[in-house]
Structure 1
Amino acid sequence: MPKKSRTSYFTQRGKYFGNLWVVFSLKVNKILRLGSDRQLAHWLLNLEYSPAIKTFSFEPGTKIVNVGGVDHRIDYHVEVIPFEGPTELHVLRTNGFSDNYEQNKQLAKNLKYQYLEFNDEHWLPHAPKIFPLLRLSSFLNGGRNAYIPSGLVETARLHIQTYRQGSLKSYLSAVRLYDQNLGLLVFFRMVVESKISLSYENTIFEINARWWLNEK
């Protein structure tokens, strides 16, 4: 029987690790098929809901670097474009770092990329965030084709721009003339778009969750 993965505790799906996750990414506006809990964790924690990330391509690839007439390969799992800094190449591992980690960092730098490796030690400390973010992803997926009144979008934008920080409760009060679920859709779309950041304790939908405007 397969050994239970440490990251299976993210989802508590028993002893089998690596089931396929099919998710919708609002940030890249496409369906993603993620082949493991690690990929799911990385998508949630370091890509989709990271205010530092503008966009990404969750497709494995290879960059070729020629040094002294010799071609070197850099294999990666995700190509990531942050709002600031060079494009990143993310490699997902079970534990530790690869033997050629430092070499790949330098090779990537020659191409003006940043090479980064992630493992269970990066994801496990943030495991309590996984279920709230999964719930949010389900909510956003369910509402991706919903009609949003332009008046709601403008009211939400003005509230965010005027106050620049606040609670989810105060935001919902500001858009109270509209359906609450639609108001939440607009709010959390702004989170994914990195227009605002969000801090919460237990559930991402709690009314005391705090938001603030990202200055970019």
Structure 2
Amino acid sequence: MPDFLSLPQEIRFQIYRELRSFNSPLIKYPFYDDSDALGYCSFGFQSRILETSRQISNEAKEVFYGENYWTFFASIRTKFRSVVFRMEPMVLILPFIRKAHIRFGMFHWLFWKSCGLIDYVSGDTVNENVKEICLVLLTAPALRTVKIIWTETYTTWRPAPGWVEVHSVRILISELLRPLITLPKTSDLQKSIIMVAYRNGVKATEIELDFSECVDEVIALHRARKVF
């Protein structure tokens, strides 16, 4: 492609951006179905250009993989598999990832724990998911931004008038987020959207507040590591 490569690099990169398709593709190993999705990307792309030349392929990956937001699920509904990212083609993507979201979905677990009820399975799942996601991001050398997001709609419970928590879940949340402190020092850990809503419009304000404050603590500890 001598004619194309003779164009200025900024024009070539703009052409790569024109090949994006905004369909939020799922992140999953080809042999898994949608229920096993590990997350999703902010946009898809036309992959045929990666088959042209090595230089064009590497440049296009800077846009397709590097400018994409990779959202990973840390929820009670699925099990994240870091082993998937040690397989082709996932292993070829990791060097280009610069931006990631870690999206939590765990209100069912936290709510029942706040009521003093035991739910070991859900807690183990979400804790393992966070650890597995960190294992993946630790092998992404170009990673620069990690945003923590918790947006969830809880549809099976309507809070009774005067309902209050009987147990704090702050310690659970703190332990859950602790692995994020180990993310690469070159990355910037940020707090994004935190909003849990019930179907009837009532918000889980107390648990949200605990989560938000724990995120702030983790971000401060992560930034402190950069000093040393």
TM-score, normalised with respect to structure 2: 0.20
Q: Which one has the bigger strand percentage?
A: 1
TM-score, normalised with respect to structure 1: 0.21
